[in-house]
Amino acid sequence: MTYVLHFAPDNASLIVRLALDHAGLPYEARLVDRSTRAQETAAYRALNPNGLIPALETPHGVLFETGAIVLWLADTHGGLGPAPEDAQRGNWLKWLFFVANTLHPALRMTFYPEKYTGTDRRDQARLRRHMQTQIVGQLHRLDDAAADWQASAPTVLDFYIAGCLRWCALYPEDTDRGWFDLSAYPALHATCARVETLPACATLERAEGLGNTPFTAPRAPTPPYGSAT
């Protein structure tokens, strides 16, 4: 069966797209049009009741949550992360879950503070500043621990990290992003550079209009169709 990836440009679905293409897995990319809030429709919520992107249709049912999808792909197909019997598996897993459960949610709070604080813009600004400070600390910890999670070949964790770093540099579009400097994290910068050398990244760049340095020097997306926000 060909997988079906429900995606929007420059959303978390790009991490899953990288994994699918890197593993050479057949899939259909099906747009979730954020410009019409398609992710909130009953049809999409039947796939992902949380109304979040991505969702992946598989022969065994629909998967959602980015971390769950990429870990399932790695375990199902191999070549996307340490095998269960690999001595490095535990170290790799704990940092995969750190990115999925700590870093990614922290980013979401900076993108959508109103979902957590309500309509008061001062509260939103305070939360955003606080979370940006937290993210800087998280990135330093991730950078310092690179020996725990870096592998000889790219893994889905590399893809997840690269996506999060891209979003640190670009979003929210209407706020000061001077708090983030990729060069402060040499191991993370090297991870982004390595991902950019992959054929799967070239496919992503074309499919979602991300330019030829989507992680080391990102720019706003210009997707051929669909909307990132």
Each residue of 171-218: pLDDT tens digit?
998 888 899 999 999 999 999 999 999 999 999 999 999 999 999 999
Q: What was the pLDDT predicted at 173?
A: 87
Given a cut of 80, whether residue 101 has pLDDT beyond it is yes
Query: Please, are residues 168 and 103 in contact by the beta-carbon 8 Å criterion?
Result: no
In the chain, the DSSP E strands lie at: 3-7, 27-31, 55-58, 61-64
Given a cut of 90, whether residue 84 has pLDDT beyond it is yes
* pTM listed for this prediction: 0.97
Neighbour order of strands in the sheet with 27-31: 27-31, 3-7, 55-58, 61-64
How many residues are listed for the chain in this entry? 229
Each residue of 138-171: pLDDT tens digit?
999 999 999 999 999 999 999 999 999 999 999 9
Q: What was the pLDDT predicted at 176?
A: 87
Selected from 3.40.50.10480, 3.10.105.10, 1.20.1050.10, 3.40.30.10, the CATH number assigned to the domain covering 88-198 reads 1.20.1050.10
Mean pLDDT of the region 87-97: 97
Give residue 108's pLDDT band: very low, low, confident or very high (50, 70, 90). Answer: very high
Residue extents of the structural domains in the chain:
3-77, 88-198
Mean pLDDT of the region 77-99: 97
Q: Which fold has domain 3-77?
A: Glutaredoxin (3.40.30)
Each residue of 13-30: pLDDT tens digit?
999 999 999 999 999 999
3-state secondary structure of 164: helix
Q: What was the pLDDT predicted at 51?
A: 98
Q: Which residues pair with 51 in a beta bridge?
A: none
